Structure 1
Amino acid sequence: MALSRLTLRDFRNHGMLEIRPQAQFIALHGSNGAGKTNILEAISLLVPGRGLRRAAMSDMVRDAGDGGFAIVAEVAGNVIGTGVTAEQPERRKVRVNESDAAINSLGEWLSVIWLTPTMDRLFADGAAARRRFLDRLVLALNPGHARHSSRYEKAMQQRNRLLSGAMPADPLWLDALEAQMAENGSAIQVARIWVVQALSEQLLATPSGPFAMPRINLVDKVPAVDGDLASVWRKGRSRDAAAGRTLTGPHRADLEVVHSASGQVAEQCSTGEQKALLLSLILAHAALVSAQRDAPPILLLDEIAAHLDPSRRTALFALLEVTGAQVWMTGTEPELFHGIGPSAELLAIGQS
């Protein structure tokens, strides 16, 4: 699942940029504002979702461009692309091998996982951020997860609108929406449970190393009513109508992470320990994807080397090399990547 070519047109600050990677590690270096993270963001849009910044599509269009942008990549001889047009700057389009395709189908072609400086607050922020992180891990292993998630969200939004309307909602319409939510919500739950269990086993099988090892658990918060999610929502209509939202369901789940050695929950750990826990999760997940999909994912690591001492940087590079994943990294100085060795390709960004 490595990219053999990446082309950006009018994306963020890049008018036209083409990269043809020749190594496992692609180390992008340059001054702040050069556009290094923009390249990682472009790659993150080659899978379902809103990308690593979760920005509006129109915000990604280059100011001096024609009002649209395009991201095109070659993967194992196939060409996949996404972007927007000037006429519809918020409507993202996808093409695979010159044919229109659904956004959710991108997960069938690539698995991409990222770690950015903003994710340093993952454990301190609310459950929504951790849930999105978990769903990215699930999507990398189960491409159908994106389809179930979007259908669940759409049905839930329609239910919320009906319950909050001035007129009493049609019970039959609510029944249909809740049945659709239950079908897709159950698939979401099953996929999350499987990934958390498989990742837990992978973490247990991982030898101790320089980074803190986590224990993970899915906190579902969905009460069991004869095993029927639709019954949960049917019984809770009055409460949800008063609240103006659906109060129970897979959209309220949380990922609990605990430092194995100390027993502390991640949000109570130091900033350095939290970063180490995230790195351990990413490395274990890469190994799991390699085993399950017969190909490692693409890893996007933004400014990761700058916050590690030289010995830990060297250890991280060695662990990443073992995964076999194509790794895109950013940093201000090329010296940050010298510990990688011959498997690194250093690319200066923002320099003519």
Structure 2
Amino acid sequence: MRTDDVPDALPCVVRRLQLSCFRNLSDHVLNLPDGPVVLHGDNGAGKTNLLEAVSMLAPGRGLRRARASEQACTGGTGGWALQGHIEGPEGIHAVATGLEPGQERRRFRLDGRDIAARDELPAVVGVVWLTPAEDRLFVEAPAERRRFLDRLIGADDPAFAGLTARYDRRLRERTAVLRGERPDRVWVSTLEAALAADAVAIAAARAERVESLDAMVADSRGPFPRVRLEVSGELEALMDGRPALDVEEEVAARLQRSRDLDRDAGGALIGPHRSDLIAIDAETATPAARCSTGRQKALLLSIVLGELARRRRIGALVPILLLDEAAAHLDGTRRAALFERILDAPGQTWLSGTEQAPFAALRGKAAFFHLNQGDIADHV
């Protein structure tokens, strides 16, 4: 693709972040200039808490997947609040979220009015992240890789996030009905038809995203390795070259035949909840799970950077990128390449680490914040 064929970038950037009683960050206001944001400080100082705060400006449970009630500061009222001024393609919007004392679910406000976050926020703010826990993504259980992929899709496709949530609810409901004393067979059949339709829709959305992302990361150049991606599973094999309605009927029939086994297992033997994201190091044809720790980190960064490039290519909103312990497991060459990509790319990247030294190349080009037991000091 020629440069003049690339759509104008549509990045979103946090210009101002206000925190109140969030984790160990009691009351702070950060004003953020152009460029990356570097957080450094000892372990436990609050770096990941600050990254989590940014992730909470988007729909979902944030980078720790914690309950809202777990995010309040110790000794407070149990409530907390965040507000971000997000600069995007249509100007600056105020995004606020928080938990009121005694409540279980957090609220969202956009420019001063209450909103349904999944309906309105994806057009204003998106956040993508990598944490140290994901350094082992390729050797963990398939559920972790599915969650990683679904998070990438759901960040700019609110309908997909709702679809996966509905599928999970229906799957649990079917199990509960099957385990009842007198299962209502008509209702079970209705649930199975709905599950089959949702299953095919989820698999199709995953396949479409992975196909477009694979095209980006399979041709990457430079120190970050090329990656080949696919979604693999019994459902995906059924869908290969077949009309969606035929697959839905086949999945519903298989669910009906496996009711007794599914009841005992507490789930279903077929569906998108049993699929896996497969990653192959394209340069060595080695499964990612068998690569070194450093190579796996580089493969992950290739995927995430490829996703940002994919969104820019199609003219979609470019999300904020959060990289917790960004320099861990990266050699000097790849660290320099990562910083170069970050500086050249549209949007905003937040990076964290215990030491300043690994980020020396970003001096004068990034905002630096030192964290110390919940205190935040800036030195740009």
Letter in 2 for 1:227: V
Map of 2:114 onto structure 1: 100
Higher mean alpha-carbon deviation, 176-185 vs 261-270, is at 176-185
Name the residue aligned to 1:292: 314
Measured after TM superposition, the shift of residue 293 of structure 1 is 4.0
Superposition map of 1:181-220 within 5 A: 181-206=195-220, 208-220=221-233
**Counterpart-to-counterpart distance in 2, 1:264 and 1:307:** 19
Comparing 226-235 with 292-301, which one deviates more in the overlay? 226-235
Percent identity (aligned): 39
Report the Cα distance in structure 1 between the residues aligned to 2:145 and 2:86, rounded to whole angstroms.
Answer: 29
Give the counterpart of 2:294 among 256, 272, 285. 272
- CA apart distance, 1:187: 2.5
User: Contact conserved, 2:21 with 2:76, CA < 8 A, in 1?
Assistant: yes
Deviation at 1:41, TM superposition (A): 0.9
Number of matched pairs: 349
Q: 155, 170, 193: which is aligned to 1:179?
A: 193
1:293-341 C-alpha deviation (Å, 9 max, x unpaired)? 4432110001112433333221110012222131011112222222125
Give the distance between the partners of 1:99 and 1:234, measured in 2 at CA. Answer: 46
Tell me the CA shift for residue 202 of structure 1. Answer: 0.9
Residues 95 and 213 of structure 1: CA distance in aligned 2, closer, same or farther (over 3 Å): same
In the superposition, the TM-score normalised over structure 2's length comes to 0.86
- Change in Cα spacing, 1:16 to 1:189, as seen in structure 2 (3 Å) is same
Whether the 8 Å contact between 1:21 and 1:345 is mirrored in structure 2 is yes
Q: Using the TM superposition, give the Cα deviation of residue 343 of structure 1 relative to its aligned residue in structure 2, in angstroms.
A: 2.7
Determine the C-alpha separation between the residues in 2 that align with 1:197 and 1:240. 31
Contact 1:44 1:51 in 2 (8 A): yes
Matched ranges for 1:243-254 at <5 A: 243-254=265-276
Whole-Å Cα distance in 2 between the matches of residues 24 and 295 of structure 1?
Answer: 17
Partner of 2:5: none
8 Å CA contact 2:138, 2:296 repeated in 1: yes
After superposition, the CA RMSD in angstroms is 1.9
Greater shift, 114-123 or 173-182, is seen at 173-182
Out of 89, 110, 117, the residue aligned to residue 125 of structure 2 is 110
**Which residue does 1:133 correspond to in 2?**
148
CA shift digits 1:136-185 (9 cap, x unpaired): 121234232111111111111111111122x2221232233233323333
Alpha-carbon separation, structure 1, partners of 2:354 and 2:109? 33
Q: CA deviation at 1:48?
A: 3.0
* Residues in 2 aligned to 1:46 and 1:221: alpha-carbon distance in whole angstroms: 36
Where structure 2 has 5 or more consecutive residues not aligned to the other structure, the ranges are: 1-11, 239-244
Pairwise CA distance, 1:205: 3.4
Aligned partner of 1:152 in structure 2 is 167
Structure-2 residue corresponding to 1:51 = 62
| 1:6 equivalenced with 2:6 (yes/no) | no
- Unpaired stretches in structure 1, ≥5 consecutive residues: none
- Residues 121 and 72 (structure 1), Cα distance of their counterparts in 2 relative to 1, 3 Å cut: same
The match for 1:323 is 345
Describe the superposition over 1:233-281 as per-residue Cα deviations: whole angstroms up to 9, x where unpaired.
2332222112222222111111001111111111111111111100111
Amino acid aligned to 1:242: D
**2:260 alignment partner in structure 1:** 238
CA contact (8 A) 2:78 2:101 kept: yes
* Counterpart secondary structure, 2:205: helix
SS at match of 2:158: coil
1:29 is matched with which residue?
40
Q: Distance in 2 between matches of 1:263 and 1:40?
A: 34
